[in-house]
């Protein structure tokens, strides 16, 4: 079988999953073998038309939270001299049962991701239906037509134990497979830009050797490029970096020079080298989703001088670099490290505040007031309240990716990263602590946790967005379910809580956080309720888990009226003012809060004032 001209593995297994179902319930048949030839013809005709217009062909591999928006931003860009479109984008998604629906969605001009940013729908509709600079495909053959490939394939970290980051591993299989397919398909002139957050060393020590081996197999790289037939993947990092440093020089030293003693000898004749670059995204879900891709600072790097030049030129053509200049690093490992350190720093601040939040709970201090008192100092303006745990796709895992890469790609067993490791472990456990506060509040009301009806207000990981990935609310729900509570959920931005509803397969088979808790079978029946008043009815406890604007000014009298009786109120995010806390207490409720130890004093004050 000709691997390069055959359907990819995911498409050949369509008998196992014949349809892909979108979030709205529409069913899309997966492509069959005969569909690939027709799709290739369509793509070739599209590319021929676009090249005639002088446009560069860009393939974005993976159209999830990052790739879909990056594809639209590139497609919407224009030549800064002529004002005309200079790029034609093909958004490519493998045809799996879980994700294939994104392709027909995009072809209709519909976004495959939900967002509170109205520009998401506008830019995709404009580029697909108006400017016609964006198309979508399921076929890897698009890679062979590309001038630039942007890789937005997930790289997860699988934790085998909650609260112990070291017991886990980076899941880079999908990314490695993507590099192989890219190496089998692309033309030698094609720039490959990795946007995925990856362990330091991935671009140079995993992606580059894979692409180079594929080039060799295809006859694009002279076999003598590697001395003694040794594999790049088997060489130590210093030896590997030597070849990259040599390749970055325009003048290749002749065999008689001192460079002949390098572990790798570069032949005097020229040969194609993979053009590989790295530039991580800083996507922020919310009302500035598109702007966080287009109008924000970027760090980039390339494996050699040509790759660096190409990635700088490409990003300068599609992003707002006039207002947000690029930072160009010497090597990909430096830009990879930037992303890991950037997110580990933020995660560490949150973990640091967790210990002081617990101190505040025990000693009558309101941590939210402490934070506000500190933030007036400009040097400490980024101090944050940790809430019920950090979430989103990046912060819970990026430090772990860093540690894994340093050990497994760079071979450094000495660095232990105690701060980064501890921060992740602390943040992982904070949602469980919030559930314990809920138990304490119910106990104070004389009610057992088993069978208690508990409403969680907020399923997403941050305020005013619908992104539920790795949210602290999930851990609250799972711990309470483990204790046999009856869970219900309200979130104005979330229609389906996939982590609960589809825990057997989401985010992937065997990777749900359900595996860390007992008694999780029933959570698949939990549905997000759209009506807050109806959701409140009969609740024994209300957990304010996220600072959605809808929850900031809830009237305690109204809440208790909807519930039908006094209940436990748990504030996980500094939502309640002292006046609101006081009012809940006056209505007969018990109030608890993360980091809000001063509530005990307010409770005593209210109790004493009610004594005749």
Distance from chain centroid for Cα 186:
26
- pLDDT band, very low/low/confident/very high, at 16 (cuts 50, 70, 90): low
| 505-554 pLDDT per residue, tens | 888 888 999 999 999 999 999 999 999 999 999 999 999 999 999 999 99
Predicted confidence at residue 18, as pLDDT, reads: 84
- Residues forming beta bridges with residue 480, ordered by sequence position: none
Domains of the chain with CATH codes: 3-332 (3.40.50.720), 348-609 (3.40.50.720)
| 397-421 pLDDT per residue, tens | 999 999 999 999 999 988 888 999 9
| 217-276 pLDDT per residue, tens | 998 865 544 433 333 333 333 333 333 332 333 232 333 333 333 222 333 334 578 999
**How far apart, in Å, are the Cα atoms of 5 and each of 96, 103, 146?**
19, 21, 16
d(CA 298, CA 314): 12
d(CA 268, CA 254): 6
SS3 (DSSP) at 341 = helix
The H or E element containing residue 238 is helix 237-247
Instruction: Please give the DSSP secondary-structure letter assigned to residue 386.
Output: -
| 55-96 pLDDT per residue, tens | 999 999 999 999 999 999 999 999 999 999 999 999 999 999
Q: pTM to 2 decimals?
A: 0.87
Do 599 and 591 touch, CB atoms closer than 8 A?
yes
């Amino acid at each position: 079988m000709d691997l390069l001209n055959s359907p990819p593995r995911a498409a050949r297994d369509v008998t196992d999953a014949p349809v892909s179902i979108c979030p709205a319930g529409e069913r899309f048949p997966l492509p069959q073998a005969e569909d690939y030839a027709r799709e290739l013809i369509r793509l070739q005709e599209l590319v021929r038309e676009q090249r005639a217009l002088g446009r560069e062909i860009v393939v974005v591999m993976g159209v999830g939270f990052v790739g879909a928006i990056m594809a639209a931003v590139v497609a919407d860009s224009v030549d800064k001299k002529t004002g005309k479109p200079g790029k034609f984008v093909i958004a490519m998604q493998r045809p799996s049962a879980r994700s294939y629906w994104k392709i027909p969605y995009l072809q209709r001009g519909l976004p495959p991701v939900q967002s509170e940013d109205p520009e998401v729908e506008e830019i995709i509709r404009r580029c697909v239906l108006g400017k016609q600079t964006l198309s979508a495909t399921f076929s890897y053959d698009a890679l062979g037509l590309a001038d630039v490939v942007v890789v937005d394939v997930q790289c997860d970290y699988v934790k085998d134990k909650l609260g112990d980051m070291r017991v886990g591993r980076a899941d880079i299989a999908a990314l490695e497979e993507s590099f192989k397919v890219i190496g089998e398909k692309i033309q030698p002139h094609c720039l490959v830009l990795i946007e995925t957050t990856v362990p330091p060393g991935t671009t140079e020590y995993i992606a580059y050797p894979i692409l180079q081996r594929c080039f060799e197999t295809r006859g694009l790289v002279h076999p003598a490029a590697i001395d003694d037939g040794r594999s790049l993947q088997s060489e130590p990092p210093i030896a590997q970096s030597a070849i990259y440093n040599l390749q970055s020089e325009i003048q290749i030293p002749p065999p008689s020079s001192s460079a002949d003693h390098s572990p790798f000898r570069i032949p005097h004749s020229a040969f194609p080298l993979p053009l590989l670059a790295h530039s991580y995204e800083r996507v922020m879900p919310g009302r500035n989703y598109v702007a966080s891709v287009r109008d924000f600072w970027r760090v980039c790097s390339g494996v050699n001088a040509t790759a660096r030049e190409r990635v700088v030129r490409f990003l300068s053509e599609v992003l707002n670099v006039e207002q947000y200049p690029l930072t160009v690093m010497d090597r990909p490992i430096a830009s990879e490290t930037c992303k890991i350190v950037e997110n580990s720093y933020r995660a560490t601040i949150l973990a640091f505040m967790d210990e002081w939040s617990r101190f505040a709970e025990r000693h009558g201090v309101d941590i939210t007031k402490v934070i506000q008192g500190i933030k007036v100092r400009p040097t400490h303006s980024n101090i944050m309240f940790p809430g019920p745990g950090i979430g989103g796709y990046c912060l819970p895992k990026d430090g772990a990716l860093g540690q894994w890469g340093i050990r497994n790609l760079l071979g450094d067993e000495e660095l232990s990263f105690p701060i980064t490791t501890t921060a992740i472990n602390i943040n992982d456990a904070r949602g469980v602590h919030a559930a314990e506060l809920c138990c304490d509040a119910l106990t104070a009301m004389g009610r057992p946790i088993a069978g208690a009806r508990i409403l969680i207000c907020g399923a997403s990981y941050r305020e005013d967005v619908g992104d539920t990935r790795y949210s602290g609310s999930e851990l609250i729900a799972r711990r309470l379910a483990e204790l046999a509570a009856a869970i219900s959920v309200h979130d104005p931005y979330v229609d389906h809580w996939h982590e609960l509803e589809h825990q057997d397969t989401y985010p992937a088979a065997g990777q749900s956080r359900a595996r860390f808790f007992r008694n999780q079978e029933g959570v698949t029946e939990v549905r997000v309720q759209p009506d807050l008043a109806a959701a409140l009815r009969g609740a024994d406890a209300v957990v304010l888990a996220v600072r959605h604007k809808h929850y900031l000014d809830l009237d305690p009298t109204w809440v208790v009226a909807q519930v039908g009786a006094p209940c436990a109120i748990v504030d996980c995010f500094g939502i309640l003012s002292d006046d609101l806390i006081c009012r809940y207490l006056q209505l007969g409720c018990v109030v608890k809060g993360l980091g809000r130890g001063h509530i005990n004093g307010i409770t005593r004050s209210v109790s004493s004032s009610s004594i005749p």
